[in-house]
Structure 1
Amino acid sequence: MAVNKVREIMTAAPVAVGPQTPVVDVARLMRDQSIGVVLVAEDETLRGLVTDRDLVVRVVCEGGNIEERSVAEACSEDLVSLSPDDDISRAVELMREHAVRRLPVVEDGRPVGIVSLGDLAVERDTDSALADISATEPNE
C-alpha cells in the first residue's frame, strides 16, 4: 500500500523548547537525542524552528558569550508548514519552492511533527544515497 499522507512519514512528537531557552541547552538536547532540529513553541503555538546549522551560523560565528543567548536569536521564524493530512507531494512541492530541508507539521495550530528531506527520500527513492544515509542510525 502506497504512503500518501505526511502523517505516515513524519517524525511525530517533535522536540520543542520555549523561545527563551538558552542555545547551549538546545545544542545539548540535540546532541543527547541525536537530532538536528528543534521546534520553538510558546503556549503550544509554533514560533520557529532551529537547526544545528542555525546554531553555528547565527550564534557561534557571531562570537560573544553564547551562554547568554536564547534560541529565539537563532531560530527561523518565517516558517512554511504542513498539515498531517497533506499529501506527500505537497511536502516535496513546498521544500522545492522554499529551498528547505525540513517542514514542521501543524494541526489545530499545534506542532505535531516534522517531515524532512530524508523522510521523503526513504519513502520515495529507496535506492538513493540520501535514503540509505537517512535510514541509518546517527553517529554519536
Structure 2
Amino acid sequence: MTRRPRVLPLEAPLHEAARIMRDEGIGDVLVTLGGRLCGLVTDRDIVIRGVAERRDAAHTTLGEVCSAALVTVGPDDDLGTAARLMRDQAVRRLPVVDAERRPVGIVSIGDLARVDGLGPGVLAGICQAPPNV
C-alpha cells in the first residue's frame, strides 16, 4: 500500500490534479468531500473526461470528471482481499479508507506485483521502472 496518498477536495480544479500527477510521477489522486473519500481521478480520466471533451482545466472541478463508484478496503484487510477485489471488480487502484471513509492509502496493481511471493516477475519489473516522461 502506498501510504499518505495524494488527496484533493471535490471542488479542486482539474489542472491541480494533473500538476500533482506530473510532479510526483503518479497516475491518480483521491478526491474528498469533508475529508471523506468520494472519488478517484486518474490520468486517464483527465484525458477522456477532460481534454477529449474540451473542458477548461482551470474551471473544471474534480467532481465533474472523477470516478465516484469506488471499491475500497480497510487498513486491516489483507493482500488477498485486495487482490480478489481488484480482479473481481476489474480495477487497477484500490483506495484504503478508515472506518469513517478517510483515505489512509491506496493499493495499486503495481503494489501487488512487487509483493509476489515467487520473486520479481515481468509485471513487477515494469511497475518498478521509472516513468518515461
| Aligned residue in 2 for 1:114 | 106
Tell me the equivalent position of 1:5: none
Q: How does 1:1-140 map to 2 (within 5 A)?
A: 10-109=1-100, 110-124=102-116, 126-140=119-133
Determine the C-alpha separation between the residues in 1 that align with 2:55 and 2:78: 44
Cα distance in 2, alignment partners of residues 64 and 134 from structure 1: 31
**Structure 1 position 68, deviation (Å):** 1.4
Runs of 4+ in 1 over 6 A off after TM superposition: none
What secondary structure is seen at the aligned counterpart in 2 of 1:79? Answer: coil
**For this pair of structures, how many residues does the alignment match?**
131
Describe the SS at the equivalent of 1:53: helix
1:88-117 alpha-carbon deviations (Å, 9 max, x no partner) = 111111011110000000112210000000
Partner of 1:112, secondary structure, is: strand
Which structure has more relative contact order (CA 8 Å, sep 6+)? It is 1
| TM-score with structure 2 setting the length | 0.92
For the residues of structure 2 that align with 1:32 and 1:18, how far apart are their CA atoms? 18
The 2-side partners of 1:50 and 1:95 are apart by 17
C-alpha root-mean-square deviation of aligned residues, in Å? 1.3
Deviation at residue 76 of structure 1 after TM alignment = 0.6
Which 5+ residue runs of structure 2 have no aligned equivalent?
none
Indicate the SS of the match to 1:127. Answer: coil
Q: CA deviation at 1:136?
A: 2.8
**Unpaired segments ≥5 residues, structure 1:** 1-9
Q: How much has 1:139 moved relative to structure 2?
A: 3.4
Shift of 1:63: 1.2
Percent identity between the two aligned chains: 48
CA distance in 1, matches of 2:44, 2:70: 16
